[in-house]
C-alpha cells in the first residue's frame, strides 16, 4: 500500500508540473493552432519573476512579509508572462496566422532572443522594461472617457508610453541600487528558496509527502479549475470557443476576433508564467530552464488530443506515473521475478533522462495508430 501511494504521489507530482506547463500551450496550440516554441521561455520569465520577487521581499521594508512572497509571485508571474505573450502576439504572431512553419521559425527565434536577453541584460533593467510594458498596456484603460473623447488618441497613447517609460526607469534604478546582484548581468543559474511554511513533509497514511510537491499539485488544481470555469462560464470564454470552432461566423456575429486572439495568447502565456513558479521550486533557474519542458509539453498536448483539456490532464498524469515507474526503477520492485532480458532493459532506462526517451518512444508508437490522440476533435473544429 505504501509503495502504491508513493508511486501515485510521485506520478501525480511529476504530472502536475507537466500539466501546469502544458496548460497554457494547450490553449495557444490547441485553440489557436499556433506552434509557439517560445513557450518554454515564457516559463523562464515566470521563474525569474519568482526569483526577483523573492529578493525584493528580502528588503527590510518587506522582510516581515517574506513568507507570502510566493503567493504574490504567482500573480506577478501570470501578469508578466501574459504581457510578454501579448507583445509577442501583437508584433509577430498576428502576421503569421495560418502559416505554421513561419510561426515555428519565428517563435524559435524569439526563444533564442529571450535566452540571450536574460544572459546579457541585468535583471533590474529587465524588471524595469517589464514594468514599462505592463503600464503601457493598462494605463490607457484607466483614462476617463471624457479625457479620451476630448484628446486625440495619439496624444493619450503617447502620454501613457511616457509615463510607463519613466516608471520603468525609476523601477530599474531602485532595484539596481537596492539589490546589487540584480544590477549586473549574470548567466549563472540562481536558486529560489521556498518559504518556511513550504518546507518539510506531511505524513498521510503512514507515508511522508514533501510540502513543495503538494503545493505544486494545489497550484495545478487551482489553475485547471480556473481555466475550466473561465472557458465554460464566462462571456469571453464563450467567445474564445466560438472563434475556435468558426472564426468567420464569429466575426460576422460581431465578435472581435482580434481581441479574442490577444486574450487567448495572453492567458496561455500567463499560465506558462505560473508553470515557471512551480518549476523554480524544484531546482535552479537559468536561461535554459524552459527548454527542459517544451518537448514534454508538446507531447502532452498531442497525446491528449489537440484542444482537449481533459485529454491534456490524463496525458500529463499518465506520463508522470510512467516516468516514476520507469525512471525510479519501481517496475523491478513491483515485479522482482521479471525475465532477465526485460529486467536488463528496464534497468538501462531506470534514469530520469532515459525514462523520457522510452516514454516518448512509446508515445510516438501510440500516435502511429491513433494520430489524433486520446480525445480527437469532433465536429466543425476538425474542419478549421
The string of pLDDT tens digits covering residues 228-287 is: 888 888 888 888 888 877 778 888 888 888 888 888 888 988 998 998 898 888 878 888
Confidence band (pLDDT; 50, 70, 90) for 75? very high
pTM: 0.86
CA 116/CA 120 separation, integer angstroms = 6
CB 321 within 8 A of CB 15: yes
Rounded Cα distance between 279 and 18, Å, is: 10
pLDDT tens figures, 18-54: 888 888 888 787 667 778 888 889 999 999 999 989 9
C-alpha–C-alpha distance, residues 158 and 155, integer Å: 5
Give dist(CA 101, CA 363) in Å, integer: 23
C-alpha cell at 134: 505592463
Three-state SS for 119-157 is: HHCCHHHHHHHHHHHHHHHHHHHHCCHHHHHHCCHHHHH
Contact present, 86 and 262 (Cβ < 8 Å): yes
Pick the closest to residue 80 from 37, 127, 23, 122 (CA basis): 127
Q: Cell digits for 28? A: 495557444
* Residue 188: C-alpha distances to residues 15, 49, 185, 288, 345 (Å): 28, 16, 9, 10, 36
pLDDT above 70 covers a percentage of the chain that reads 89
**Fold observed for domain 2-121+185-381:** ABC transporter involved in vitamin B12 uptake, BtuC (1.10.3470)
Give the tens place of pLDDT for each residue, 121-158: 888 888 888 888 888 877 766 666 666 566 666 666 77
Question: How confident is the model at residue 153, as a pLDDT?
Answer: 61
Give the torsion sign (CA, 146, 152, 153, 154): negative
Sequence spans of domains, the chain: 2-121+185-381
Distance CA(39)–CA(88), nearest Å, equals 11
Amino acid at each position: 500500500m505504501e509503495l502504491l501511494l508513493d508511486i501515485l504521489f510521485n506520478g501525480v507530482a511529476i504530472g502536475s508540473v507537466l500539466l501546469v506547463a502544458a496548460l497554457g500551450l494547450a490553449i495557444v496550440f490547441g485553440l489557436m493552432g499556433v506552434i509557439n516554441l517560445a513557450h518554454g521561455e515564457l516559463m523562464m520569465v515566470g521563474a525569474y519573476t519568482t526569483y526577483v520577487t523573492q529578493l525584493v521581499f528580502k528588503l527590510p521594508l518587506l522582510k516581515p512579509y517574506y513568507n507570502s512572497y510566493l503567493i504574490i509571485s504567482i500573480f506577478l508571474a501570470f501578469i508578466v508572462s501574459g504581457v510578454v505573450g501579448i507583445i509577442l502576439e501583437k508584433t509577430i504572431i498576428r502576421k503569421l496566422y495560418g502559416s505554421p512553419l513561419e510561426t515555428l521559425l519565428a517563435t524559435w527565434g524569439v526563444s533564442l532572443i529571450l535566452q540571450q536577453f536574460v544572459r546579457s541584460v541585468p535583471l533590474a533593467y529587465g524588471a524595469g522594461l517589464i514594468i514599462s510594458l505592463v503600464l503601457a498596456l493598462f494605463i490607457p484603460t484607466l483614462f476617463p472617457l471624457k479625457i479620451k473623447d476630448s484628446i486625440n488618441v495619439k496624444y493619450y497613447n503617447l502620454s501613457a508610453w511616457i509615463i510607463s517609460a519613466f516608471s520603468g526607469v525609476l523601477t530599474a534604478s531602485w532595484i539596481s541600487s537596492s539589490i546589487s546582484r540584480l544590477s549586473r548581468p549574470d548567466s549563472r543559474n540562481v536558486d529560489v528558496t521556498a518559504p518556511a511554511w513550504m518546507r518539510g513533509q506531511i505524513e498521510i497514511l503512514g507515508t511522508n509527502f514533501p510540502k513543495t510537491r503538494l503545493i505544486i499539485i494545489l497550484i495545478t488544481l487551482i489553475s485547471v479549475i480556473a481555466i475550466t470555469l473561465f472557458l465554460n462560464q464566462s462571456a469571453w470564454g464563450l467567445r474564445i470557443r466560438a472563434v475556435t470552432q468558426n472564426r468567420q461566423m464569429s466575426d460576422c456575429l460581431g465578435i472581435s476576433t482580434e481581441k479574442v486572439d490577444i486574450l487567448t495568447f495572453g492567458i496561455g502565456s500567463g499560465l506558462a508564467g505560473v508553470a515557471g513558479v512551480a518549476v523554480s521550486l524544484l531546482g535552479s533557474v537559468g536561461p535554459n530552464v524552459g527548454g527542459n519542458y517544451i518537448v514534454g509539453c508538446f507531447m502532452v498536448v498531442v497525446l491528449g488530443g489537440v484542444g482537449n483539456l481533459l485529454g491534456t490532464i490524463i496525458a500529463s498524469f499518465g506520463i508522470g506515473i510512467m516516468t516514476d515507474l520507469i525512471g525510479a526503477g519501481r517496475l523491478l520492485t513491483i515485479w522482482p521475478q521479471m525475465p532477465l532480458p526485460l529486467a536488463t532493459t528496464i534497468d538501462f532506462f531506470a534514469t530520469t533522462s532515459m525514462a523520457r526517451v522510452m516514454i516518448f518512444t512509446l508515445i510516438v508508437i501510440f500516435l502511429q495508430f491513433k494520430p489524433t490522440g486520446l480525445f480527437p476533435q469532433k465536429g466543425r473544429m476538425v474542419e478549421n
